[in-house]
Amino acid sequence: MIVNYTESGWQIITQRSHGLLAAEICAHWNKADQGRYWVHTLVATAEHDDVYNEFENQDLINNQGGPVNFKMTSFKKEYAIRLMQMAETKSTWVALLVSRHIQFVHGKDPKALNFISELKKREKLWMKILSVSPAEISSAYRLLEFCDALSLLICQHAIQPEQRKMDISTGPDRLIYSIFEKSDQVFVVDPWPFEPDEFRLSYESRTLSQLYFKDVAEFRKMISSTPVILHDLVLTKS
């Protein structure tokens, strides 16, 4: 989960909500550059973090009793297996993109090396089934990663104020994209890679005024009963 400390307490944005925002961004991509298996790419973008469910998982609070931000988590094989099983039963293309995401996130984690080695072997079979090249998969994954990175910047309130530009990520075309806040919750992306010249996005959060929790059960009970707050923003060409 994404955890932001605010004046009102812990702002929690679930991994699945963040993933849905990434898919919303992806859905507006320039139609001429959407590539094959477009709907499958959208699904993979929406579901790349679906294995992490804050209403079910156990690793939700740290030793001090506070909520665990996603940056504090590490590779867990049982999560990765479950995520890949969900992806494979959706489609081979989704499995390829989710596999690439696991490699991107956990590629330097010693605990993940054997699992990633097996994924790379399975990728060869998946690409043969779909008759796609490594370059085509890499391009599609760069799009997913771009949308993931932009969603994270938004959810973490990490975009700089006062119209200061910052990099988002490298897109599928290998260009580096940047963003700045034009006005309150209106953001300019440059260069502009989307089909419409402007569109609206939304995501949900929950704010917990209690800062410490005695155990996971208390935290889960609190977050599941906390009202949802809807956040709106606009991405625009200029």
Give the integer Cα–Cα distance in Å for 35 and 141.
Answer: 11
Nearest to 57 by CA among 10, 20, 12: 12
So what's the pLDDT on residue 54? Answer: 85
* C-alpha dist (Å) from residue 223 to 3, 14, 122, 148, 192: 12, 10, 38, 24, 37
* Residue 7 DSSP code: T
Q: Kindly report the pTM of this predicted structure.
A: 0.95
Domain ranges in the chain?
2-236
Nearest to 192 by CA among 171, 166, 211: 171
So what's the pLDDT on residue 51? Answer: 85
Q: Residue 120: pLDDT band by 50, 70, 90 thresholds?
A: very high
So what's the pLDDT on residue 53? Answer: 85
DSSP-derived 3-state class of residue 92: helix
pLDDT digits (tens, 9 = 90+) for 7-39: 999 999 999 999 999 999 999 999 999 989 999
Dihedral sign for Cα 129, 51, 102, 143, please: positive
Nearest to 197 by CA among 207, 205, 189: 189
* Residue 124 DSSP code: H
Q: Which residues contact 58 (CB under 8 A, 6 or more apart)?
A: 216
pLDDT digits (tens, 9 = 90+) for 46-95: 999 888 888 888 889 999 999 999 999 889 999 999 999 999 999 999 99
Q: Rounded to 5 degrees, what are φ and ψ at 236? A: -135, 155
pLDDT digits (tens, 9 = 90+) for 165-221: 999 999 999 999 999 999 999 999 999 999 999 999 999 999 999 999 999 999 999
pLDDT digits (tens, 9 = 90+) for 128-164: 999 999 999 999 999 999 999 999 999 999 999 999 9
In sequence order, what are the beta bridge partners of 166? 179
